Amino acid sequence: MKKFTKNRKIIPVSLIIMLLTRFNAINLNAQEISFTFTANHTCEYTALDSVFVENLTQGGDTTLYYPDTVLTLVLTGIDQFLTGSNNFYVSQNYPNPFETKTNIDVFLPECDNITIDVYDLLGRKVANYEGSHESGMQHFTFIGGNSKNYILTVSSKKYLQYIQMIQFGEVSSGVPYLEYNGTTTMNSIKIKQKSLQSLFPYNLGDQLRFTGYDSGDYASIIDTPFGSKDYFFDINHMVPTTPTAGTHIAGEDQIEWHWNTVADADGYKYNTVNDYTSATDNGTSTSYIQAGLDCETNYTLYVWAYNSCGASSFLELNEQTSSISITASASPAAICNGATSVLTASGANTYSWNTGGNTASITVTPSATTTYTVTGTSTAGCTGTATVSVTVNPLPSVSATASPAAICNGATSVLTASGANTYSWNTGDNTASITVTPSSTTTYSVTGTSTANCTNTASVTVTNVFTCGTCTVTYDGVTYNTVAIGNQCWFKENLRTTKYNDGTSIPNVTATSTWTSTTTGAYCCYSNSTSNCSTYGALYNWYAVNTGKLCPSGWHVPSDGEWTTLTNYLSGNSTYWCGGNSSNIAKSLASTTSWSTSTTACAIGKDLSANNSTGFSALPGGDRASSDGSFYTLGIHGYWWSSTENDGSSAWYRCLIYVYADVYRYYFNKSYGFSVRCLRD
């Protein structure tokens, strides 16, 4: 048996029998009798799978299958009394009854012209369709108007059938009309044939048995109809089973009741007493919240499942309301000594703390770890208590020292903090020990943090007592003496660092060809002998000077103008002159050793013991030529770079020569190797 999809509306299955009361070879007069079948399956309206009709008086039977629901007795002759039994047929509309629109299927066994007319109960034609179609199942949709009942007829040259359609709900004010929805061809369908006795016999007064089938279940009705009649099958009438208890949620003043779904139930009712007639309908929901209850009290609820067949026996549910649940929290739960924490209670309407506070939140500043208690009262008068603890951690004992506490300007001091887990200095450093080089007396502060995240601070002062001429400067492992001349502070020795002040190594270029072609920073020792570096200092090309990183931090290679400041100062002070001439200042800068001797008056090489009245201690370190990379003039010339460029290939310098009494200023190629002195910033 072919099954079909059901909906929840009443779907009539109509067997229309045109009773032939008298006929002859020329014409037939017919009376029309309509049997309409509806059904409940498990107490719900359903569309029948089939109806088996038996004539218990004369014998014979026929079976109606959904949707082949119409059997028409044609008036044109007894041989066509049952047209459509195997071929042409019109399905009962579906759904039926319908709200706004319904579907009709027409099966054509062969190509044919069909006319479809729809009439209301007043006999007025309200919709029409005409068309020619190939064999197959033709699909139509009818959209209703303002009538409740319609008669739809389908006719062709050979066939005539009609069905009754019922519209329910709010009717439309629009004009009814038919829509053609296409065809399903003979190759795509297989027509299920009706099983019936040829020329199903029937006379008024015959006893008939109708058997309706749905989902494998059935019910039968025996009757002797004398006219059109409606039949109702009540198949598998069954009241729902009793619900079972679910898991309830009990609150202080309410209970959320739960029960499990019953498969055959349409809905549920509940009552606080065991009386179904006064029970409240809960619809399909399987939960109910009963509010306004007393705390810590037992309550009972009765629940029934129902459907159109009736109600189940009651389910008795029992539950007790809960006591009030108070919670308390501290933010933060652990504090440092002297800090505050906010205590917050929840779960009640009013609160009372053991501190005397009566608000939900209070602020406390305990000096030691403390436990607090709060009592909460609900609107229903129930009370509950909660406790919360605040842990108090001690502050770390932070101390700081400086070694040494007093330094020369440009020197360093090591600051060390203790007493905590981590440290943060106002310099931005975050280690226990840091090295500082203050340019003036400075107080440093450090914040220490314990493992409990508590902090404390300490401070330490480093006194800057740098005095030029007294303090030394250590740079790249070499300690340089200083000398004050006028308002300037100079290194007392030539520079011999092998690194820039950022720690980057300066290339030591020994090969002559490499030296002449190098246009980046480089140094060498005179004749590539390290002993000469120790005595006279290193020779640097001007590219190393131009990096700005050759001297230590706080010092720099003097500019051409700063060299002039030095010589102007000496020329302005007769103490540094030779022979009463303000230009003869070379001897005041030259050292008392290492220079070649000379007999020229006021020359550097004349009476070396009269040299170096400034303490500058200039040595004749010679030079390295840019043209061939050779070394020249050790012991007789001393050259010192300035940081000032003359042009793209040369820069300014100062020179002392053993046979001259003045300081020589000129410029040379930047690739020359000259000595360097550092001047304090």
Interatomic CA distance for residues 331 and 339, integer angstroms: 11
Beta pairing class for 455-464 and 406-407? parallel
Is residue 444's pLDDT more than 80?
A: yes
Strand partners, 51: 64, 212
Is residue 189's pLDDT more than 50?
A: no
Is residue 587 within 8 A of residue 470, CB to CB? The reply is: no
Strand order in the sheet with 370-377: 334-336, 383-393, 370-377, 350-353
Is residue 25's pLDDT more than 60?
A: no
Q: Cα 61–139–1 angle (5° rounding)?
A: 35
Give residue 136's pLDDT. 87
Instruction: Classify the phi-psi angles of 164: left when phi > 0, otherwise alpha if psi is within -120 to 50, otherwise beta.
Output: beta
Which of 490 and 472 is assigned the larger pLDDT? 490
Is residue 73's pLDDT more than 50?
A: no
Find where tokens 């190939």 sit.
134
Most confident of the ranges 51-60, 405-414, 509-518: 509-518
Where would I find the beta strands (DSSP E) of 202-340?
Answer: 208-214, 217-223, 229-235, 249-250, 254-258, 267-271, 280-281, 287-291, 298-307, 310-311, 315-320, 327-331, 334-336
Domains of the chain: 13-235 (2.60.40.1930), 249-320 (2.60.40.10), 327-393 (2.60.40.10), 399-464 (no CATH), 475-680 (no CATH)
Is residue 29's pLDDT more than 70?
A: no
Q: What is the pTM of this model?
A: 0.40
Q: Which residue, among 196, 162, 204, has the nearest Cα to 33 in the 3D structure? A: 204
Per-residue pLDDT of 83-126, as tens digits, reads 333 468 788 888 888 888 999 999 888 889 999 999 988 889 99
Cα within 13 Å of Cα(430), Cβ side: 3
Most confident of the ranges 59-63, 233-237, 453-457: 453-457
Give residue 20's pLDDT. 30
Is residue 45 within 8 A of residue 39, CB to CB? The reply is: yes
Check whether the bond before 97 is cis (ω within 30° of 0): yes
User: Range with the lowest mean pLDDT among 106-110, 475-479, 553-557?
Assistant: 106-110
Give residue 188's pLDDT. 52
Give residue 395's pLDDT. 94
Average pLDDT value for residue range 516-527: 97
Is residue 192's pLDDT more than 70?
A: no
Q: Is the dihedral of CA 474, 476, 481, 483 positive or negative?
A: negative
| Per-residue CA distances from 272 to 131, 305, 306, 352 (Å) | 66, 15, 17, 37
Give residue 239's pLDDT. 86
Is residue 15's pLDDT more than 60?
A: no
Interatomic CA distance for residues 169 and 430, integer angstroms: 83
Give residue 428's pLDDT. 95
Is residue 66's pLDDT more than 90?
A: no
Per-residue pLDDT of 345-377, as tens digits, reads 998 999 999 999 999 999 999 999 999 999 999
| Per-residue CA distances from 632 to 372, 410, 526 (Å) | 89, 35, 9
Per-residue pLDDT of 596-648, as tens digits, reads 999 999 999 999 999 999 999 999 999 999 999 999 999 999 999 999 999 99
Average pLDDT value for residue range 530-543: 97
Give residue 330's pLDDT. 96
Strand partners, 313: none
Is residue 302's pLDDT more than 90?
A: yes
DSSP letter at 252 equals S
Average pLDDT value for residue range 64-78: 46
Per-residue pLDDT of 214-225, as tens digits, reads 888 899 999 998
Give residue 147's pLDDT. 85
Give residue 3's pLDDT. 30
| Per-residue CA distances from 605 to 592, 596, 602, 655 (Å) | 9, 6, 8, 14
Give residue 617's pLDDT. 97
| Per-residue CA distances from 373 to 376, 382, 529 (Å) | 10, 17, 85
Is residue 152's pLDDT more than 80?
A: yes
User: Measured over all CA atoms, what is the biggest interatomic distance in the chain, rounded to whole angstroms?
Assistant: 173
User: Range with the lowest mean pLDDT among 76-80, 541-545, 616-620?
Assistant: 76-80
Instruction: For residue 588, report the phi and psi dihedrals to the nearest 5 degrees.
Output: -70, -20
Per-residue pLDDT of 662-679, as tens digits, reads 999 999 999 999 999 999
Give residue 492's pLDDT. 97
Burial of 570 (0-12, 13-18, 19+ CB in 10 A): buried
Interatomic CA distance for residues 576 and 564, integer angstroms: 15
Show the tokens assigned to 124: 């007025």
Interatomic CA distance for residues 351 and 271, integer angstroms: 37
Q: State the pLDDT confidence band at 19, using cuts at 50, 70 and 90.
A: very low
Give residue 32's pLDDT. 64
User: Range with the lowest mean pLDDT among 55-69, 140-154, 264-278, 517-531?
Assistant: 55-69
Is residue 191's pLDDT more than 50?
A: no
Report the chain's mean pLDDT, rounded to a whole number. Answer: 87
Strand partners, 578: 581
Average pLDDT value for residue range 399-425: 91
Q: State the pLDDT confidence band at 552, using cuts at 50, 70 and 90.
A: very high
Most confident of the ranges 154-158, 165-169, 251-255, 343-347: 343-347
Is residue 233 within 8 A of residue 212, CB to CB? The reply is: yes
Average pLDDT value for residue range 322-327: 87
Show the tokens assigned to 481: 């003496």
Which amino acid makes up residue 453?
N
Average pLDDT value for residue range 23-34: 44
